[in-house]
Chain A
Amino acid sequence: GAVVSQHPSWVICKSGTSVKIECRSLDFQATTMFWYRQFPKQSLMLMATSNEGSKATYEQGVEKDKFLINHASLTLSTLTVTSAHPEDSSFYICSARVNLETQYFGPGTRLLVL
């Protein structure tokens, strides 16, 4: 099946630093990718929809200037958490859309901000 990778798989950083997470579709092209966040014991919450060649669409309550998304190619979307703070510590998961019915998820990136 289709494979989506994320890098890094985990990151620990100091408060105030920026962290970039990459999401790649390895064997297919994805014009649309999605970024989710999951806090412990909570459901996945969609943060934004990343569209190749255009600006991302952010969900209500998600700060676009804090969570920068770039979808520069059909196989790569990046999420940059700028000036990260402890409350940004979470499990960040991307998915790549294959068709209207199917998305494949990356393995996730666990972020811990000290």
Chain B
Amino acid sequence: RKEVEQDPGPFNVPEGATVAFNCTYSNSASQSFFWYRQDCRKEPKLLMSVYSSGNEDGRFTAQLNRASQYISLLIRDSKLSDSATYLCVVNHNFGNEKLTFGTGTRLTIIP
């Protein structure tokens, strides 16, 4: 089983729609969780951290369920500029800061 699993997509969503991504992780001792976005042929950029209580940043909402080892990202009122690959990232944090990346979910917003 992969350490971090995501639905690879692609998700083709009309502009203005709401889209949700899911991610599961295998290591129950994982401490930190993130969503990154990666544009084609570019480096990943931090979108938001994911906190246990859930957190929101504008149109983006992240949720964490430690019991189910499940992370989600919700994008509301999607924009064309949201088209990218969204990476679920986990940090085990016990003595190191190594990030483990999911394979990413590709999102295309259709005008």
Interface residues of A (CB under 8 A from B): 32, 34, 41-46, 49, 91, 93, 97, 100-103, 105-108, 110
Contacts and interface: CB of A to CB of B under 8 A. Distances in A.
Contact of B43 (A34, A49, A107): A107
A83 to B, nearest CB: 26
A93 B45 CA distance: 12
Contact of B97 (A32, A105, A108): A32
B14 to A, nearest CB: 25
Contacts of B43: 93, 105-108
Q: Is the interface of A mostly helix, strand, loop or mixed?
A: strand
Contacts of B45: 105
A97 B44 contact: no
**Interface range, B side:** 20 to 34
B97 A46 contact: no
Contacts of B44: 44, 93, 105
B91 to A, nearest CB: 8
Nearest to B43: A105
Contacts of B49: 101
Given A43-B103, A105-B44, A107-B42, A100 B93 contact: yes
Given A97-B97, A101-B49, A43 B42 contact: no
Given A44-B44, A110-B41, A103 B99 contact: yes
Contact of B98 (A34, A41, A107): A34
Given A105-B43, A105-B44, A106-B43, A100 B97 contact: yes
